[in-house]
Amino acid sequence: MTLTDVARRAGASTAVVSYVMNNGPRPVAPETRERVLAAAAELNYRPNRIARALRSHTTGVMGLVLADASNPFFGSLARHVEEALGERDKLTLIGNAGFSADRQEHVVERFLAAQVDGLIIVSADGGPDVAAQAEAAGVPAVYVHNQPESARSPVVAADNDAAVHDALAHLRSHGHTQAAFLTGSHDVGPVGRRRHAWEGAVAGTDARLLRCDYTRAAAAELTQRLTAQDAMPPAVVTATDEQAIGVLAGADAAGLSVPDQLALISLDGTPDSAYTAPALTVTEQPLRAMAERAVRLLIDDAPRSPEPHAAASLVVRRSCGCSG
């Protein structure tokens, strides 16, 4: 069923049918409009997105570049982005960059060739400013959650400063005044900002900064090593849930009891964090709000001015020492 079929059936021209289907760009007499709508319904007409794309240079498809969909944090974000996009009648192309700058560029390249209307990039640290490359090709792009060092494109992230302060304040209420901070090896962007907030908050104390890869394995290994050396801090804030879960595994293996001998709070708040043993106290990232903001930025070309970041909310469970 094509436009032409509908036009014939409604006794109208293809132009008019097009105007009706798109609510514009020109007015149509209400009566004609009804006839067209009726014909379209009877014929079960579905506009051909491909033809429309060829003609109008917009595809209704957005590209979502992800570091790794198997990581539940990225997966959750992906789900929210897809939903937010769906509500705006956009389709979502997905691509995994796998923590490699090369692969990320490659994915972006492919998306650009597919004529995506915009790019949402949820990526690991480092690499070139792919958003800038996309914008150079006329395709708007936003970073979500993180961005490469050099980027000037908009980033959508939670209010990380507040999240860190909330976590630290809560630990203080448990009597820990010098919580350590576990971050990645090369933290820049929002994650670096978390570390920075922590540094500001603990300045003057001898709280310790810990670093390891953003993986469960690395965090587990670190925890076991430090515990063996009797050098594990009594309270730790981790930059990511993956690391927190690794710390939990390492503590378990080393016979270190959480929360009795180690109080732990993580800053991601993925669904995973609720079912660890013990359950993790976290500051939950407002993923849905972030996804919506990103979509708004891309589609409405919303003000790129410093909108206040969405707040992360402290979810108290057991790893901090609360009995909940």
Partner DNA sequence: CTGTTAGCGCATTCAT
Partner DNA sequence: ATGAATGCGCTAACAG
Footprint on this chain of a second copy (rule: CB under 8 A): 46-51, 53-54, 59-61, 64, 68-72, 74-76, 78-79, 82-83, 86, 91-96, 110-111, 113-115, 216-217, 220, 245-246, 248-249, 252, 270-272, 274-279
Alpha-carbon torsion angle 120, 70, 215, 269, nearest 10: 70
**Interface with DNA (CB under 7 A), residue from 9, 28, 158, 281:** 28
- 80 backbone dihedrals φ, ψ, rounded to 5°: -65, -40
- 163 backbone dihedrals φ, ψ, rounded to 5°: -60, -45
Minimum distance from residue 54 beta carbon to DNA (Å): 4
Cα 163 to Cα 82, 167, 168, 288, 309: the distances in Å are 25, 6, 9, 17, 11
CA 291 to CA 67: how far, in whole Å?
Answer: 16
Query: Which distant-in-sequence residues (6+ apart) come within 8 Å of 175 by Cβ?
Result: none
Interface pattern 72-101 for DNA (x via CB under 7 A): ------------------------------
Minimum distance from residue 275 beta carbon to a second copy (Å): 4
Tell me which residue has tokens 């959508």: 156
Note whether 55 binds DNA by CB under 7 A.
yes
CA 296 to CA 293: how far, in whole Å?
Answer: 5
Residues in the chain, overall count: 324
Residue 276 interacts with which of DNA, a second copy, none, CB < 5 to 8 Å by class = a second copy
Stretch in the footprint of DNA (CB under 7 A) among 15-23, 65-73, 226-234, 271-279: 15-23
Of 111 and 181, which CB lies nearer to a second copy in the complex structure?
A: 111
* Residue 75: strand, helix, or coil: helix
Of 23 and 229, which CB lies nearer to DNA in the complex structure?
A: 23
Other Cβ atoms within 10 Å of 234 Cβ, number: 16
Note whether 231 binds DNA by CB under 7 A.
no
CA 151 to CA 97: how far, in whole Å?
Answer: 17
Minimum distance from residue 267 beta carbon to a second copy (Å): 18
Instruction: Count interface residues toward DNA (CB under 7 A).
Output: 28
Note whether 115 binds DNA by CB under 7 A.
no
Residue 170 interacts with which of DNA, a second copy, none, CB < 5 to 8 Å by class = none
Of 127 and 250, which CB lies nearer to a second copy in the complex structure?
A: 250
Note whether 52 binds DNA by CB under 7 A.
yes
Sign of CA dihedral 216, 218, 220, 226: negative
143 beta partners: 121, 155
Residue 32 interacts with which of a second copy, DNA, none, CB < 5 to 8 Å by class = DNA
* Residue 142: strand, helix, or coil: strand
Residue ranges in contact with DNA by CB under 7 A: 2-4, 11-16, 18-19, 21-22, 25-29, 31-33, 47-48, 51-52, 54-56
